């Protein structure tokens, strides 16, 4: 029996289920670099280099382990540019009895793989991706018959399942969630450690050249590339986070600072999403730091919640709701994406800062994504499909299974509240409280209307006004709608006029 085992670019671990019973004598492991994956959205240049370099390094490791690897490079003659085309070509090179693949992360690719049985007339075995704590089937069972699918209940379920941060049946420290202690603004005198970066080796160097030439019109800088591309480097990045930033992760999770892209965040999402690190080992490293009293409970719980909670939960939602999930547009948002999302040419300092950092690093931390670029898109009523394509393009960690629910559900409320009980809409006051961006902005968060008023302020109230029918009955919006109710009618008209004039000026 000879098996063709396809490993996708985000399945780069020797523990992937598709390799479980690999027969070194007979089987062939196929990895393919294909143009279609770099362009189904025009990925940030750094993401393309990262994925392809990680694939090339991983293939070397497999070869060293005695596994037969067939590796197709982007510029190999005859490369058809698609997964289907490359599997078809490989079937011309080898006579195999079946194809084995671990379930793809994205619905788009899964649908493609499912056509192969008929197309190639061969059995295709699609195995569970057991890198997650919660399988698709387990999540569906958890979600069945529930009135509400909110994270908190799922997170508690996962804490009980793993036993992590539990004292018997109770949460360690008496609380499930230390979020209230995780919202501090940055103190000016706090030292921010440098996050570990990695110097490109020859493999990455070659890809920097290829991608720089081939995908020169894609968003993003290449000069600043500093991602690790091997498991060894990813483990170094993990230790760097655990020792240097985890202790402060909790307190400053929501903080933002001009010129500081990382603060106390882990920078681990690309490694987790590509398979270079497992969520299990990342969480265990944080739990070990807690056990050794090297990091406080609020930081460790906050970090574990992101991975054991949010990451698993949003993947569950994605597979539960796809492919229809993208169809909803609860707030009927239809404005085109402003061009400054690509150029960073905007005088709103918070947006400028976040987009420049995104271009330079293929990274922005969660609050920049949610409360700056996401919040603006929500308030301005930008079309969910356009916003989703942007988020899927610009981040090194972007894969649809995690990007889509974060964008469509969490940031844009386009699903009508499936995963958050109210929209994450905020005025300039929030950004001012959590960052120093406003200090260098030509607008002021204190000015609510008229000359110099922060656009987030005007757009916030317009958002409440135009979405009143859809949102006013939500009890969690009662306070805001109460304030709006008390506002005099003339002021409300002025808000809408000024907001519409601002939106009309947006260059798309």
* H or E stretch at 281: helix 279-291
When asked if residue 32 is in the footprint of ligand DLZ (CB under 6 A), the reply is yes
402 touches 369 (CB < 8 A) = no
- Asked whether the beta carbons of 374 and 333 are under 8 A apart, the reply is no
By Cβ distance, which residue is nearest to ligand DLZ? 9
Q: Which stretch binds ligand FAD (CB under 6 A): 80-88, 172-180, 268-276, 286-294?
A: 268-276
The H or E element that residue 99 is part of is strand 98-102
349 touches ligand SF4 (CB under 6 A): yes
| Residue of the chain from 30, 72, 237, 454 that contacts ligand SF4 (CB under 6 A) | 454
For tokens 């995908």, name the residue: 215
**Cβ 72 vs Cβ 55: under 8 Å:** no
Name the phi and psi angles at 72, rounded to 5.
Answer: -100, 125
The correct pick among 3, 16, 28, 34 for binding ligand DLZ (CB under 6 A) is 34
- Spatial CA neighbour of 121 closest among 87, 105, 98, 146: 98
CA 151 to CA 166: how far, in whole Å? Answer: 18
Residue 37 interaction partner, one of ligand FAD, ligand SF4, ligand DLZ, none, beta carbon < 5-8 Å per kind: ligand DLZ
Q: 391 is in the binding site of which of ligand FAD, ligand DLZ, ligand SF4, none (Cβ under 5 to 8 A by kind)? A: ligand FAD
Q: Which C-beta is closer to ligand SF4: that of 107 or that of 443? A: 443
Please state whether beta strands 170-171 and 166-167 pair in parallel, antiparallel, or not at all (unpaired). Answer: antiparallel
For residue 185, which phi and psi values (nearest 5 degrees)?
-75, 155
- Residue 43 binds ligand DLZ, judged by CB under 6 A: yes
Binding site partner of 366, from ligand SF4, ligand DLZ, ligand FAD, none, Cβ cut-off 5-8 A by kind? ligand FAD
Q: How many CA atoms lie within 13 A of 392 on its CB side?
A: 20
Binding pattern to ligand FAD, positions 366-405, x when CB under 6 A?
A: x--xx---x----------------x---x-xxx--xx--
The DSSP element (H or E) to which 71 belongs, if any, is strand 69-72
Residue whose C-alpha is closest to residue 359's, from 339, 343, 371: 343
How far is it, in rounded angstroms, from Cα 344 to Cα 229? Answer: 28
The reply to whether 10 sits near ligand DLZ by the rule CB under 6 A is: yes
User: Smaller CB distance to ligand DLZ: residue 33 or 254?
Assistant: 33
- Which residues bind to ligand SF4, rule: CB under 6 A? 348-350, 428, 431-432, 437-438, 441, 443-445, 454-456
- Which residues bind to ligand DLZ, rule: CB under 6 A? 8-10, 32-34, 37-38, 43, 48, 51, 104-106, 109, 399
- Which residues bind to ligand FAD, rule: CB under 6 A? 265-269, 272-273, 303, 306-307, 310-311, 314, 365-366, 369-370, 374, 391, 395, 397-399, 402-403, 406-407, 410-411
């Amino acid at each position: 029996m000879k098996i063709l085992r396809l490993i996708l670019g985000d399945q780069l671990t020797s523990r992937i289920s598709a390799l479980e019973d690999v027969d070194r004598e007979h089987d062939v492991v196929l990895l393919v670099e294909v143009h279609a994956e770099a362009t189904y959205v025009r990925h940030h240049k750094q993401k393309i280099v990262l994925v392809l370099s990680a694939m090339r390094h991983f293939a070397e490791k497999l070869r060293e382990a005695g596994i037969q690897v067939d590796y197709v490079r982007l510029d190999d003659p005859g490369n058809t540019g698609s997964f289907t085309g490359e599997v078809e070509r490989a079937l011309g090179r080898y006579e195999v009895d079946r194809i084995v693949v671990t379930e793809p992360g994205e619905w788009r690719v899964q649908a493609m793989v499912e056509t192969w049985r008929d197309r190639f007339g061969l059995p295709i075995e699609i195995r569970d991706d057991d890198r997650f704590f919660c399988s698709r089937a387990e999540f569906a069972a958890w979600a069945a018959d529930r009135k509400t699918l909110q994270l908190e209940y799922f997170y508690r379920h996962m804490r009980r399942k793993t036993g992590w941060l539990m004292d018997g049946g109770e949460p360690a420290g008496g609380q499930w969630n230390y979020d209230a202690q995780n919202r501090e603004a940055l103190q000016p005198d706090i030292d921010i450690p440098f996050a570990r970066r990695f110097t490109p080796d020859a493999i990455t160097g070659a890809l920097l050249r290829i991608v720089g030439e081939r995908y020169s019109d894609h968003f993003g800088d290449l000069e600043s590339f500093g991602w690790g591309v091997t498991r060894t480097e990813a483990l170094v990045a993990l230790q760097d986070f655990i020792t240097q930033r985890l202790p402060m992760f909790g307190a400053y999770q929501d903080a933002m600072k001009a010129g500081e892209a990382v603060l106390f965040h882990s920078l681990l999402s690309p490694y987790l999403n590509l398979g270079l690190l497992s969520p299990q080992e990342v969480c265990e490293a944080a739990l070990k730091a807690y056990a050794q009293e090297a990091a406080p409970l609020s930081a460790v719980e906050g970090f574990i919640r992101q991975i054991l909670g949010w990451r698993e939960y949003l993947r569950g939602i994605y597979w539960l709701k796809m492919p229809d999930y993208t169809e909803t547009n609860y707030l009927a948002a239809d404005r085109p994406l402003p061009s400054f999302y690509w150029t960073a040419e905007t005088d709103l300092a918070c947006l400028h800062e976040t987009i420049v950092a995104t271009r330079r690093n293929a990274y922005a931390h969660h609050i920049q994504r949610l409360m700056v670029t996401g919040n603006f898109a929500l308030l301005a009523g930008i079309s969910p499909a356009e916003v989703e394509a942007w988020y899927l393009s610009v981040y090194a960690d972007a894969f649809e299974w995690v990007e889509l629910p974060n964008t469509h559900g969490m940031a844009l409320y386009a699903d009508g509240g499936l995963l958050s009980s109210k929209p994450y809409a905020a005025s300039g006051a929030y950004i001012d409280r959590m960052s120093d961006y406003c200090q260098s902005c030509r607008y002021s968060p204190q000015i609510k209307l008229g000359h110099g008023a922060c656009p987030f302020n005007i757009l916030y109230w317009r958002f409440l006004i135009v979405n009143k029918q859809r949102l006013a009955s939500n009890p969690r919006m009662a306070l805001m709608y109460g304030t709006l109710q008390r506002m005099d009618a003339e002021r409300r008209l002025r808000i809408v006029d000024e907001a519409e004039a601002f939106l009309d000026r947006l260059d798309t």
